[in-house]
Chain A
Amino acid sequence: MSLVERITSFADAKVWYGNLPIESLYTVGIAGEKFFRAIKDRGVIMGSVCPSCNLTYLPPMMYCERCFAELEEWVEVGTKGTVYTYTVVGVSLGGAPLEQPEILALIKIEGAHGGLVHRLGEVKPEETEIGMPVEAVLKPKKDREGSILDIKHFKPA
């Protein structure tokens, strides 16, 4: 046998099945804690401000990636934005067709640097447009858990 020898019959090819038995438990972090608590407790979306670079980070960061300042100033950025880009998702993670296609968008909020990736709701795929004004729809306060899913979706404003 040599390096260039090839297995020509699939029956000869041995495959060994196994897994990587891990799960992940992520803390949301210092900036994340403030961001998600604000959504959960007060229903507001906040960004963190770097005064020297004149940027409001969304999602907020605890530091400015440009000048490395620790960011201490936080502002509410409102719940209204515009669709910067979007896609219509027709299949699930496993590749099966979805009964109801999902619209996934990057939503820019005026004055904020960055944006939120989220679902669009209360709108049909064929009605969706880049530049469309949208607004966050929050879950009722009692159902909010401090997660990005506390925002149900964004709807046309």
Chain B
Amino acid sequence: MAMRKVAVVGAGMTKFMRRAQETGRELAFQASRMALDSCEMTLDDIDAVALGTAPDAFDGLHMKGEYLSDGAGAWHKPYMRCYVGGGTGVFAAIQGWYHVASGLFDTCLVVCEEKMSSCQPHPQGAFITIFDHTTERALKPNLVWIFALEMNRYMTVHGIEKKDIARVAVKNKRNALDHPCAQLAADITVEDVLNSEVLAWPVQRLDISPTSDGAVAIVMAAEHVAKRITDKPAWVRGVGWSLDTAYWTSRDLYYPKYVEYAARMAYDMAGITEPRKEIHVVEPYDPFDYKELHHLEGLLLADKGDAARLTAEGVTARDGNMPVCPSGGMLGVGNPIAAAGLMKVSEIFWQLRGEAGKRQVPGQPQTGLAQSWGDLMQVGCVVILGV
């Protein structure tokens, strides 16, 4: 394939908050402006804008992409919104990548925003529409059902206990103590997780990420431009995405095959044959603690059913052999859906450039991976960056 090399050259984000005073477009502006400032670029230098944001019902704005366009810097520019549910944040970076890799644009500003606090009485009111309106919603489900059902299947097939999974929440919330944008950073114990309110067993309060407001932006550039902008471009080495069937009750929920397909696509593109050796830092999607484990297995970074052991042995700690969610993840930093996915890409960008501050993983990582997951728990999106 005759694709151009593309790099991430700048990143910016707002705090992740339970409720922000800023409107959605103001949040988008703050993150976008920060991303441009970080690489000393102006809006004039941007050829196109890629926007990612989750369902309109959260912000309470129909055609949210159009609403956000000026805050995302898209005035009089080619502009496109993408949406694959929770997978949107990483997919937006893939969208930015192919805008530039194709040769159509030399630079692309990628922006993700979410303002879930607008949604009353609770964003669950919008989330429940992921269930089939005729054959499932009649049973009055809530969103947590679907995760609880998947988590139970995963635990039972592999014989994993809740305490093995709770370690992920403990690790990520602690990692988030070092993130200046974190909403739910905390020093908690496995017992705290196990004693927290049961929402839908096996899902308890501290297994779950919060609803959040926030925005993240990155700047992507073609090789000849990237080299003028920075001496430390983070090259996009591989991208991949894949969707499974929407008939979720027909899938075997214990293993995210679609994440594996997305990962294989990205590894092939990057020429990575031994991901466990070649990926130095990972930001898998962690809206629930078990999802980090589930995704590490789908990404082929752990054997099926073995990710909990890696966590228990400290392999996935920030100073472990394979640091996982050094940012604090969505469990610790927060989960403004699309923005949370793009936060993971920007964390890899900062980690590879040695700019992650207190969150910096040791050993000068050369290659990192960000992954997101969503729609009806059916989409996997992967981006691999390298320096």
Is there any pair of Cβ atoms, one from A and one from B, under 8 angstroms apart in the complex?
Answer: yes
Chain A positions within 8 Å of B, measured between CB atoms, are 16, 18, 20-33, 61-63, 65-68, 70
Nearest-neighbor residue (CB-CB) of A25 within chain B: B120
Say whether A18 contacts B22, CB under 8 Å.
no
Nearest-neighbor residue (CB-CB) of A14 within chain B: B134
* Assembled-state Cα–Cα distance A27/B20 (Å): 8
Say whether B32 contacts A68, CB under 8 Å.
yes
Say whether A30 contacts B60, CB under 8 Å.
no
Instruction: For chain B, residues 7 to 44, give those with C-beta under 8 angstroms from any C-beta of chain A.
Output: 19-23, 25-26, 29, 32-33, 36, 42-43
Nearest-neighbor residue (CB-CB) of B71 within chain A: A63
B271 at the interface (CB under 8 A from A): no
Q: Which of B125-133, B153-161, B177-185, B259-267 contacts A (4 or more CB under 8 A)?
A: B125-133
A63-B33, A67-B43, A68-B33 known; A18 vs B71 contact (CB < 8 Å): no
B190 at the interface (CB under 8 A from A): no
* Chain B: minimal CB distance from A147 (Å): 15
Partner of A24, one of B43, B120, B137: B120
* Assembled-state Cα–Cα distance A66/B33 (Å): 12
Say whether B57 contacts A65, CB under 8 Å.
no
Top 8 A-B pairs, shortest CB-CB distance? A24-B60, A29-B23, A65-B70, A22-B125, A16-B134, A23-B120, A21-B125, A65-B75
Say whether A25 contacts B118, CB under 8 Å.
yes
* Chain A: minimal CB distance from B32 (Å): 7
Nearest-neighbor residue (CB-CB) of B19 within chain A: A27
* Assembled-state Cα–Cα distance A16/B138 (Å): 10
Partner of B119, one of A22, A66, A70: A22
Q: Is the interface of A mostly helix, strand, loop or mixed?
A: mixed
Q: B19 to chain A: which residues have CB within 8 Å?
A: 27
Partner of B23, one of A18, A32, A66: A32
* Assembled-state Cα–Cα distance A105/B22 (Å): 28
* Chain B: minimal CB distance from A62 (Å): 5
Say whether B73 contacts A68, CB under 8 Å.
yes
Nearest-neighbor residue (CB-CB) of A65 within chain B: B70
Interface centre among B22, B42, B57, B119 (most CB of A within 10 A): B22
Partner of A68, one of B36, B125, B129: B36
Say whether B21 contacts A27, CB under 8 Å.
yes
B121 at the interface (CB under 8 A from A): yes
Nearest-neighbor residue (CB-CB) of B118 within chain A: A24
* Chain B: minimal CB distance from A47 (Å): 16
* Assembled-state Cα–Cα distance A31/B73 (Å): 17
* Chain A: minimal CB distance from B42 (Å): 7
Instruction: For chain B, residues 276 to 291, give those with C-beta under 8 angstroms from any C-beta of chain A.
Output: none
Q: A67 to chain B: which residues have CB within 8 Å?
A: 42-43
Say whether B33 contacts A28, CB under 8 Å.
no
Partner of B22, one of A23, A29, A66: A29
Nearest-neighbor residue (CB-CB) of B127 within chain A: A22
* Assembled-state Cα–Cα distance A25/B119 (Å): 7
Say whether B33 contacts A70, CB under 8 Å.
yes
Q: B20 to chain A: which residues have CB within 8 Å?
A: 27
* Assembled-state Cα–Cα distance A26/B128 (Å): 21
Sample 8 A-B pairs with CB under 8 A, ordered by A number: A24-B118, A24-B119, A26-B118, A29-B26, A61-B70, A62-B29, A68-B32, A68-B73
Nearest-neighbor residue (CB-CB) of A63 within chain B: B29
Say whether A22 contacts B120, CB under 8 Å.
yes
* Chain B: minimal CB distance from A42 (Å): 21
Encode contact with A along B152-182: 1 for CB under 8 Å, 0 otherwise: 0000000000000000000000000000000
Partner of B126, one of A20, A28, A63: A20
* Assembled-state Cα–Cα distance A50/B154 (Å): 55
Say whether A28 contacts B43, CB under 8 Å.
no
Say whether B60 contacts A26, CB under 8 Å.
yes
Q: A70 to chain B: which residues have CB within 8 Å?
A: 33
* Assembled-state Cα–Cα distance A65/B73 (Å): 6
Known contacts A27-B21, A29-B26; can you find 12 more A-B pairs with CB under 8 A? A18-B133, A20-B125, A21-B125, A23-B60, A24-B59, A24-B118, A24-B120, A25-B118, A27-B23, A31-B26, A62-B29, A68-B29
Nearest-neighbor residue (CB-CB) of B129 within chain A: A20
Nearest-neighbor residue (CB-CB) of B60 within chain A: A24
Nearest-neighbor residue (CB-CB) of B117 within chain A: A25
Say whether A30 contacts B22, CB under 8 Å.
yes
Q: A63 to chain B: which residues have CB within 8 Å?
A: 26, 29, 33, 71
Q: A26 to chain B: which residues have CB within 8 Å?
A: 23, 60, 118
* Chain A: minimal CB distance from B87 (Å): 22
* Chain A: minimal CB distance from B211 (Å): 13
Q: B125 to chain A: which residues have CB within 8 Å?
A: 20-22
* Assembled-state Cα–Cα distance A62/B25 (Å): 10
* Chain B: minimal CB distance from A145 (Å): 18
* Assembled-state Cα–Cα distance A16/B32 (Å): 42
Say whether B22 contacts A22, CB under 8 Å.
no
Nearest-neighbor residue (CB-CB) of A61 within chain B: B70
Q: B133 to chain A: which residues have CB within 8 Å?
A: 16, 18
* Assembled-state Cα–Cα distance A61/B71 (Å): 10
* Chain B: minimal CB distance from A29 (Å): 3
* Assembled-state Cα–Cα distance A68/B120 (Å): 32
